[in-house]
Amino acid sequence: MRRVASGVTLAALVLLPFFGSNYALDVANRCGIAVIGVLGLNILTGFTGLISLGNAAFMAIGGFSAAFLITKAGVNGFAAIPAAGAIAALLGMIVGVPSLRLKGLYLAMATLAAHFIVEFTVVKWESVTGGVSGMSVPAPALFGVVLDNDRKLFGLVLLLALAALLFARNLFRARPGRALIAVRDHETAAAVMGIDVFRAKISAFGLSAFFVGVAGALAAIQSRIISPESYPLSLAIDALSMVIIGGMGSVAGSVLGAVGLTLLPEGLRAATNALSGQWPDLISKLSILKELVFSILIIVFLIFEPHGLAALWRRAVRKRHATTQQQPEGGGK
Amino acid sequence: MDFTFLLQLLINGLVVGSIYALVATGFVIIHKSTGALNLAQGEFLMVGAYVCLYAMTTFRLPFAAAFPLTLAFTALLGVLIERVVLRPLLGSPVISVIMVTLGLAGLLRSGLQFFFGTDTRAFPELFPSAPVMLGVVPVSQGYIWSVAGVTVLLTALGLFFRYSRAGLALRATASNQQTALSMGISVKRMFALSWCIAAVVSAIGGVLLGAIRGGIDMSLGHMGLKVLPVVILGGLDSVPGAIVGGLFIGVVENLTGGYLDPLLGGGVKEVVPYIVLVLILMVRPSGLFGRKKVDRV
């Protein structure tokens, strides 16, 4: 049953570029990119227990690295994406070094500082980043295939999102991923069991920044033009919202949170358009409305369901399972 | 010429710094007694400024009536937020508490935007606009009033903590919750009280800032993030630290902004406090006056 469901979903996604509208593909790309980024943040915050307010900074590092590599270093667009991820990973590990001494709110502050320092650097380092005016990002091209619109880009985004998903799922079934969870749950106990806490934390930062950097590079390629203003602090907070609402420490939750909260503003847009007859000023307040809804969702989820959509999902599945088992004769298959 | 410029920067720094100190005090009070990190402190400031503005412009109340009304409103808001949002999360991981205050910040900010719009609103003139000569440097009267107001307020808070029953109970809660409980102090009520004080103190900061600037907009909320370097510098659980840190960050920000902005083309003021933050975290995470109990590994 589950296999059928995932097969159908996958088939629908593969076929999307052939029948989806431009708008649908734009949204689908943003969903896929969000999945990659949120998985990255969840590896760090959800699975390893290290809060980061620096997510937007790593998106920026990924985006500007890709842009620089493609336009100024002449690197092929396809190669620039993992390279941007690698640069972000390297810087992520540097930012992660203080995390060995700092926990909780101190780490939140350190990563917040990292956000502002990266923002300042991006604005000032004009020779590389183009300063306040930003840069344009050319479409990646290989063997005559140019991914210059959302329809063509979707295949790449889908592929990378699936790869990220598979990697994350298997990571937490294997020793290195388990080590991160152990560090989150009890650091001393983890160390006693022979886990190198230093290595675990640094690799969590590096891995997380790699995912986020790749997401940043893809987002830059999708939007074609980037500037320091493309990466406000609210972007980092949105990403944290996706992690929390999806489910901290859950791979499936990352997908639910990323897709759900990327679709939500689109739903709001449709709703405000529909209601614009009665309340004409509603459309202009869309971004405010979005923030309002996100904020309320964060608070409500933290109070009532701290494990997010993933827990709701699991419970719903279990409930259905239980009811089908209770009445084996009546229900039928 | 050069000297007056320096003096001007110092005075600006001290004035802004005194408001940082005020907001940071609210932050420290919450952290000290409840252990929560309130990232919505800047939004409390905005609420104060906007409510006061609303009372003065829409209800046409004089400042003497609008101001107490603002304080009452924010006091209520502080208690309400503690009761509804923070209390259910008692005992949750630090990440949850930080995130819920971020959610709160977003809720307050978007709520204000929804209600008041995003344009800059002119703030009624509270102080005479003619500057006073302080030696060779002209200083606006708003600055003087604001520094005086902050000084009075911080002194009052100090006296409250030292001599009043509630203040003592609050300090007892901060020092040891178990013992405070066994002495018959309602710790829950103390949590509510600390949120209430923090909200009120920030609201006053917001009104002062609105009066100094002459206009308010959503950028007021940035003060809430600027407070983080202040409290890290001063020590997360030290009220005197918040005051010293506030003045220091205010002055450093203005001096570096004044002297380095022309060289680097602006923006220095915004980033310097965070560089200070990183340095402090690396060298002395407990800050200048904080207790040396940092979650170290």
How near does any CA of chain B get to the CA of A262, in Å?
17
How near does any CA of chain B get to the CA of A96, in Å?
12
Q: Rounded CA gap, A292 and A294, in Å? A: 6
Q: Which chain A residue has its CA at the smallest distance from B89's CA?
A: A303
A298 at interface of B, judged by CB pairs closer than 8 A = yes
Q: Band of the pLDDT at B296, cuts 50, 70, 90?
A: very low
User: Over chain B, what is the mean pLDDT?
Assistant: 85
Residue pair A239/A41 in contact by the 8 Å Cβ criterion: yes
- Mark yes or no for CB contact A303/B99 under 8 Å: no
> 3-state class of A135 per DSSP?
strand
> 3-state class of A139 per DSSP?
coil
Per-residue pLDDT tens for B104-122? 999 999 999 888 887 888 8
| pLDDT, mean of residues B26-38 | 85
| pLDDT, mean of residues B280-288 | 80
Cα-based torsion angle of the residue sequence B167, B168, B172, B174 in order, rounded to the nearest 10 degrees: 30
- Mark yes or no for CB contact B103/A110 under 8 Å: no
Size of interface A-B (CB pairs under 8 A): 130
The answer for residues whose C-beta is within 8 angstroms of residue A21's C-beta and 6 or more apart is: none
Q: Tell which of B85, B92, B99 to mutate to test the A interface (max A CBs under 10 Å).
A: B99
Burial (Cβ within 10 Å: 0-12, 13-18, ≥19) of residue A252: middle
With beta carbons under 8 A apart, name residues in chain B contacting A268. none
pLDDT recorded at residue B47: 92
ipTM for the predicted complex: 0.85
Under DSSP, the state recorded for B186 is -
- Mark yes or no for CB contact B277/A101 under 8 Å: no
Residue pair A119/A235 in contact by the 8 Å Cβ criterion: no
The structure tokens 């309602």 sit at: B186
For residue B120, count other CB atoms closer than 10 A to its CB: 13
Per-residue pLDDT tens for B140-168? 888 888 888 888 988 888 888 888 888 88
- Per-residue tens of pLDDT for chain A, all 333 residues: 667 777 888 877 777 777 878 888 888 899 999 999 999 999 998 888 888 888 999 999 999 999 988 888 877 778 888 999 999 999 999 888 877 777 777 888 888 888 999 988 888 887 777 777 778 887 777 777 777 777 778 888 888 999 999 999 998 888 888 888 988 888 888 888 888 888 888 999 999 999 999 999 999 988 888 888 889 888 898 999 899 999 888 898 999 999 988 998 888 888 888 877 777 777 777 888 888 999 999 999 999 988 889 888 888 888 877 776 665 444 443
B279 at interface of A, judged by CB pairs closer than 8 A = no
- Mark yes or no for CB contact B95/A45 under 8 Å: yes
- Mark yes or no for CB contact B100/A303 under 8 Å: yes
How near does any CA of chain A get to the CA of B3, in Å?
29
Q: Rounded CA gap, B76 and B64, in Å? A: 19
User: What tokens appear for B67 in the block?
Assistant: 């101001």
- Mark yes or no for CB contact B281/A98 under 8 Å: yes
The matching CATH number, chosen from 2.40.50, 1.10.12, 1.10.3470, 1.10.1760, for A20-328 is 1.10.3470
B124 at interface of A, judged by CB pairs closer than 8 A = no
pLDDT recorded at residue A333: 38
The answer for residues whose C-beta is within 8 angstroms of residue B293's C-beta and 6 or more apart is: B286
For residue B3, count other CB atoms closer than 10 A to its CB: 9
